[in-house]
């Protein structure tokens, strides 16, 4: 059985008895995060885009665990130059890893590194583990092709950004959920900074009213899916 743990912001751990995968582990400089990078034991780290609140502590975590960063080609090159193991992919591509399948999906956003380096195009990701598929939207605006993501794969859990300003806000995120038709939806990317301080309860109510199952995660909460 696979479990999801919320690291705060867009950061997650997905794990089963054998494997631990981190997504966008942004802990250092994140006031909501409860864990330190040293506490993350992940052999695989998926990075959706190069912004500081997503690449976060990925490189030190990868190095400390002899782990592999799974990300787009440009971010992979950057991380490799910093001494991390990488597996480069790109949007639309899927690959079977020891823990399961990862596919990179489109995201409408930016992807430069904090130092200004080019980070390719931003992505979301599908992670399939123990027969269940999680869709992490990355940072994105609403786009119609989310319908295709829901048509091509059954989405068991959708992790969706709701914080507005830089990404979809609540109403666009509700529409995204209608496009994807996940079995369960969990909001993310809110409250970390003043400018994305939206009320997740409003999203929960609106998405429930559309008939979707939803769950509001506390930081460090773990959920079996
Ligand atoms: Ni971003
Ligand atoms: Mn972000």
Q: Rounded to the nearest whole angstrom, what is the distance from the C-alpha of residue 93 to the centroid of ligand 1? A: 21
Model confidence band, residue 105 (pLDDT cutoffs 50, 70, 90): very high
Q: What angle do CA 107, 163, 167 make, to 5 degrees?
A: 25
Cα-flanking dihedrals φ and ψ of residue 152, to 5°?
A: -80, -25
- The token pair at 45 is 């780290």
Q: Rounded to the nearest whole angstrom, what is the distance from the C-alpha of residue 17 to the centroid of ligand 1? A: 31
Q: How confident is the model at residue 142, as a pLDDT?
A: 98
What's the Cα-to-Cα distance from 80 to each of 28, 87, 119, 191, 223, rounded to whole Å?
A: 21, 9, 13, 32, 32
Q: Rounded to the nearest whole angstrom, what is the distance from the C-alpha of residue 54 to the centroid of ligand 2? A: 6
Q: Rounded to the nearest whole angstrom, what is the distance from the C-alpha of residue 6 to the centroid of ligand 2? A: 15
Q: Rounded to the nearest whole angstrom, what is the distance from the C-alpha of residue 53 to the centroid of ligand 2? A: 5
Asked if 9 and 188 touch (Cβ cutoff 8 Å), the reply is yes
CATH code, 3-217: 3.60.15.10
DSSP states of 144-188 = TTHHHHHHHS--SEEEEE---TTS--HHHHHHHHHHH--SEEEEE
Quick one: which ligand is closest to 51's CA?
1
Instruction: Kindly list the protein residues that place their beta carbon closer than 5 angstroms to ligand 2, a single-atom ion.
Output: 53, 139
Q: Rounded to the nearest whole angstrom, what is the distance from the C-alpha of residue 53 to the centroid of ligand 1? A: 7
Q: List, for residues 136-183, the tens digit of each pLDDT value.
A: 999 999 999 999 999 999 999 999 999 999 999 999 999 999 999 999
Q: How confident is the model at residue 50, as a pLDDT?
A: 98
């Amino acid at each position: 059985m696979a479990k999801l743990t919320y690291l705060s912001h867009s950061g997650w751990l997905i794990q089963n008895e054998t494997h631990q995968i981190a997504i966008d582990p942004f802990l250092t400089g994140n006031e909501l995060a409860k864990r330190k990078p040293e506490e993350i034991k992940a052999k695989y780290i998926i990075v959706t885009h190069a912004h500081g609140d997503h690449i976060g502590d990925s490189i030190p975590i990868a190095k400390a665990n002899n782990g592999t960063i799974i990300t787009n080609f440009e971010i992979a090159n950057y991380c490799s130059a910093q001494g991390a193991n990488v597996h480069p992919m790109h949007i639309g591509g899927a690959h079977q890893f020891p823990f399961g399948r990862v596919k990179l999906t489109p995201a409408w956003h930016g992807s430069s590194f904090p130092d200004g380096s080019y980070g390719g195009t931003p992505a979301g990701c599908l992670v399939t583990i123990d027969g269940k598929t999680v869709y992490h939207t990355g940072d994105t605006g609403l786009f119609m092709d989310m319908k295709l993501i829901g048509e091509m794969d059954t989405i068991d859990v959708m992790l969706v950004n709701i914080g507005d300003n830089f990404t979809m806000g609540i109403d666009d995120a509700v529409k995204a959920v209608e496009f994807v038709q996940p079995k369960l939806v969990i909001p993310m990317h809110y409250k970390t900074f003043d400018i994305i301080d939206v009320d997740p309860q409003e999203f929960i109510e609106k998405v429930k009213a559309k008939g979707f199952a939803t769950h509001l995660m506390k930081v460090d909460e773990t959920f079996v899916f």
